[in-house]
Amino acid sequence: MTGEVGPRDRRTQQRALQTRAALITAAVESLKDVGFAGTTARGIATRAKCHQSQVFYHFDSVHGLLLAALDDVSERRMTTYRALLEEATTSGDLLASAHEVIRQDLDSGDVAVLVEMMAGARSVPGLGAQVTARLEPWHEFAADAIRLALRPHPWAAPAPIDDLAHALVAGVLGLELLAETSGDRDRTTSLFEKFDGLAALGELLTRKDQSWPTPHPPP
């Protein structure tokens, strides 16, 4: 016995990975289409074109699979958001990035996955804590964005970053939820246009403040 994996074992592993990925994709689509309450092992398996026993083989439970689906969506979105944040250099850039984030979330329907998981978690003991734990990386991301936005403003150094990050995450989720349920994106777009104007004014005042000479006390 050399411990080497033969061709048959590799094919088996590959099929297992493909089945697992198909189940996660199916779970995401199910949450978008029929919500948490309508999502079942059989329904997911039908979408993934496999037997429902595969749900329990790979994830132990339907809720375990749904958490994996939430992780998958979160990881993909976080990659996109991090790239947008790295490109931002001004408050205006950050607002534009936030607007783009919301637009992409609504176009993809990914926001529905989190909304459904948060709603469904209230009826399942222990699930709420697991969903809440998965929001922590978003708070950290929001805190990074806020620090970047406040960097040109020394007067904002004492700002409560954690509280602001919590408010930012709640605000973005709220805007996405309202736009998703009402079908009216124009109000969200209008809101960001107003914020863009405020950001431009703030940057102008910051530049002026930095260009003014520091007053010296009289002799």
Is residue 7 domain-resident? Answer: no
pLDDT of res. 132 = 92
Residue 18 lies in a domain: no
Quote the percentage of the chain above a pLDDT of 90: 37
| Contact predicate 149/75, CB 8 Å | no
Residue 203 CB contacts under 8 Å (≥ 6 apart), including other chains: 90, 91, 92, 152
pLDDT > 60? residue 8: yes
How far from chain centre, in Å, is Cα 219?
A: 57
Let me know: does 192 contact 95? Beta carbons within 8 Å. Answer: yes
Q: Is 67 within 8 Å of 140 (Cβ atoms)?
A: no
Please tell me the least confidently modeled range out of 9-18, 41-50, 148-157.
148-157
DSSP H helix total and E strand total for the chain = 10, 0
Q: What is the pLDDT of residue 176?
A: 78
Q: Residue 2: its pLDDT value, please?
A: 52
* 71, two tokens: 């992780």
Residue 198 lies in a domain: yes
Q: Which pLDDT value is given to residue 153?
A: 63
Q: What is the CA radius of gyration of the chain?
A: 23
* CATH number of the CATH domain containing 93: 1.10.357.10
Look at residues 110, 38, 103, 109 and name the one whose alpha carbon lies nearest to residue 73.
Answer: 110
* Residue 30 falls inside a structural domain: no
Give 105-133 pLDDT, tens digit per residue: 878 888 889 889 988 998 899 999 999 99
C-beta separation of 111 from 105 below 8 A = yes
Of these ranges, 107-111, 137-141, 189-193, the one predicted with the greatest mean pLDDT is 137-141
Domain total of the chain: 1
In a domain, 185, yes or no: yes
Q: Is 105 inside a domain boundary?
A: yes
Comparing CA positions, the residue from 87, 90, 81, 84 lying closest to residue 196 is: 90
Helices (H), 62-160: 62-87, 91-108, 110-121, 127-133, 136-150
* Token couple for 40: 């079942």
Quote the domain boundaries for residue 115: 63-203
Rounded to whole angstroms, the Cα distance separating 120 from 35 reads: 9
Of the candidates 204, 205, 195, the residue with the CA atom closest to the CA atom of residue 172: 195
The residue-averaged pLDDT of 135-158 equals: 78
Residue 74 confidence (pLDDT): 92
- Considering the domain boundaries, does residue 149 fall inside one? yes
Q: Is residue 31 part of a domain?
A: no
